[in-house]
Amino acid sequence: PVVYRIALAGGLALFICTYVQGNFMIDRLPALDGTSIWWGKYDILRKDTLILWAVVLTLVVIAAIVLKKKRFENAVMFISSVMTLMLLVTACSTVLTGGALHSKLHLHVSVEDEFEMSKDENFVILLLDAADSREFSYLLEQNPEYRDIFADFTYYENTVGAYSCTRYAVPYILSGKWYECDTSFEEYMEDLYDKSPLIEELENRNYRIGLYEPDLHAQNNDVLRFDNIFEAEFKVKSYFGMARQELKLVGYRYAPYWLKKYCVLKQAAFDEQLEAGEGSGEITASMENRVLLDHLNAGGITVDDTENSFKFIHLEGAHSPYVYDAEVNIIDESQGTYAQNMEASVTLAERYLSALKKSGTYDNTAIIVMSDHGFNQDIDNADMGDNPFMRQCGLLLIKGVGEKHDTMQISEAPVSYEDLQEAYRRLLDGAWSDTVFDCREGDHRDRRYLWYAVTDEDYLVEYQQTGYASDLSTMLPTGREFRWTKQ
């Protein structure tokens, strides 16, 4: 009886504390976006956890002592039943309204034709995640040989991106359509690929289109138009392995603070537990820098006689975790830095360009080397409030078909990602990099930018960059904010 009473009290305390932690104490948790977490920065969460558990345990122990055995048991059963019923109602509501009962289109993004170019004309967008133009400019000063790597490119140093994080930035780069929380993100993505000016232009010009973007965020047949995307049935390699990742994810949200560090995981951990069935093309496309480099080293780029080819290749680039040295060798995360990941990104771009040259397709290929957003490394700006990481400085280097320079050109024209759709069209028409934008050095223009945090993707804040792209003092909020409220 004594052990049973202690178990009841302990179970009730565990139930209440984990519920509170998982629902009311998660807003300050670091995001699981691959970034290395310095737990010392979140010591306030340790204190909050200690206070919660101390208060709840004290109240439960007092109740166990004061209340008679039967009354305490009834109280525990009543509280547990009410909480369980509440969770069941929430679970049922989520299943019914979240589309869990609807059949879904299972899409497989394969590597098919990723390294196969046309002998006629090609267009490549090499997107290096989180590569910041300020860091690239710094590396240019330290490594003058970078100018030779990108000798035929124009580097647009004064470029403002569109969004602060990948989720909205990549769809905007492809479509030029702003997401302003006026509908759900799923509805926004429904016809994005179908109405993208870039994709429509490519199809009108009979380009084969390869979209090597693992996170499609799409649930319709529009994406099946891409040569490397297939409808597939996925199989779980190991149910034990999948359950282990699920439990870690649950633990990260609900476990006490001092256990959360053991529950950190990455999206790749789930992906590794799945495999596409037969008829789904080749192996799954990967964002990993090292995977692309290994393929280039092993097989290079081949040429075929089919129609023109377009490739959109999204790589992890300079994004955390910092696990690459300058030669894209994998190193221990504790030894890595953002600067090293940026150097690895440049090395990766250089190897890709070299493979194009070796294949003989470099001259007939229009190339954009860019990022989805920048990264404000080690910037602490009190004027930004809770957001020292504006990440507005996107990397942008462009080369047209047949374009040749003695050295890399640098332009200070006030470019915005809003200009990209027209730039794509001009590149397809054969324009060189210095004529794809209407703005010129010395021009003044206000450039729109929408900031959001990866921990709250339903809240956007609008800024206008009224000065140079990297100048945070001229990055002014317009007063417009957008919030998506789930219906």
pLDDT per position as a tens digit, 351-389:
999 999 999 999 999 999 999 999 975 443 333 334 456
Question: Residue 368 and residue 401: Cα distance in Å, rounded?
Answer: 11
Q: Is the per-residue pLDDT at 97 higher than 70?
A: yes
Q: Is the per-residue pLDDT at 65 higher than 90?
A: no
Among the listed residues 124, 145, 126, the one whose alpha carbon sits nearest the alpha carbon of residue 343: 145
pLDDT per position as a tens digit, 9-59:
999 999 999 999 998 888 888 888 777 777 877 888 888 999 999 999 999
Stretch 95-110: mean pLDDT:
78
Distances from the Cα of 65 to the Cα of 16, 59, 60, 70, 147, angstroms: 19, 10, 9, 12, 76
- What is the overall mean pLDDT for the chain? 90
Q: Is the per-residue pLDDT at 216 higher than 70?
A: yes
Lowest mean pLDDT among 117-131, 153-167, 319-333, 341-355: 319-333
Question: Residue 108 and residue 112: Cα distance in Å, rounded?
Answer: 11
pLDDT per position as a tens digit, 121-157:
999 999 999 999 999 999 999 999 999 999 999 999 9
Question: Residue 202 and residue 292: Cα distance in Å, rounded?
Answer: 24
Stretch 217-234: mean pLDDT:
83
Handedness of CA 76, 82, 86, 91 (dihedral sign): positive
- In 138-239, at which residue ranges do the beta strands (DSSP E only) sit? 154-156, 159-160, 208-212, 229-231, 234-236
pLDDT per position as a tens digit, 269-291:
887 888 877 655 568 889 999 99
Tokens 């208060």 -> residue: 55
- Does residue 255 sit in helix, strand or coil? coil
- Does residue 354 sit in helix, strand or coil? helix
